[in-house]
Structure 1
């Protein structure tokens, strides 16, 4: 892979993302939803010490990041639209004509999507932590220096970025916005929760990308999920890598 051709392709992908309206509203929605719902959760918890703070297993960090389960919807949309939009408009043909090496094209798109997602996800994670912990009140909140808090905060940014890349990979395989979102949204927001609570199935469901990946956003381990924080992150990385590899395979084998 030639570095200069990759750099040129990356510049083109940056230009596409900046000029797409969907980039701005999906990333803004991810930020607003994650921070806003985190503050809302913190406000609900505030003052209810007997239910939350007195429990030694209470995780104020993980609870503050509960809003990311809604905010990640916007990240999923961003990842899908960053890829499927070119197929919907037919501009994928011009893109591949300009960058005929499909491996270079896909690498540049993946890097651009990941960089844009992480650039928003990282400050969003810290803003969510600050807002949620402030809303909870000093009696039961956590500080960024508490055990696991910094790791979970950065972990939230990594989690959202990987989920976005996974969605981009799925969109490249399916080549359609409606179909991609029609699979990913129910999977992440309905199916995984249902399967995760079904006796006899939860031991397998914990390896779904969102259930496993979310463990990195907790300061206190969830004893219902056996993979742990770093194991869960590894599971999500594996799912993301498989989706990106699948996207590249379809891109190479099928005409635009």
Structure 2
């Protein structure tokens, strides 16, 4: 989850304790561990802007650097295959996922839930960005995955609640982004949950979400190499 800071010393402070209890929820990583995945949960992705520079002025560059640093750290432990790394996020984390996939080739696939992808639809600021679209149009454009949909080369699963009433993440965000990706030939899927808002509560929704996410990563991350070989050997014409 990218967080903005005005100095490096603040950004480097520890904010979480790995020795906490876990519990079942739509964001719980335990299920993935039972399926053979190595999980890096709640990794810090600081976005720093010092002096006259605001954090989001170099958002994309710092975000990709954070993503690479996270992969490098886990790879150094000997736990992963760098060719088969997936990334997922919710809300601003979904926005992070879409940007990572649009501007890097670090990941085999991504899952973005209840996100915002066109920042011109939140023109009076978002997250910690206090400038309006009219004050920083280039920042809004640069940070909007929708504006860079033509760069998406990585499979992306989009999920959203049909009744999301969070002011920055109306369902239209996912619908329009999906249409753009699909129209440009990207590998993508959109799942809309009825009667769900920004978070998903119904047991049926949670179970369906787990199934969708598991299927997506099973196909595009865990079995990526098998899928690529199959596609390569598929008869043409």
Taking structure 1 as the reference length, what is the TM-score of the superposition? 0.30
Which of 1 and 2 has greater Rg?
A: 1
Larger fraction in strand? 2
Structure having greater relative contact order (Cα 8 Å, sep ≥ 6): 1
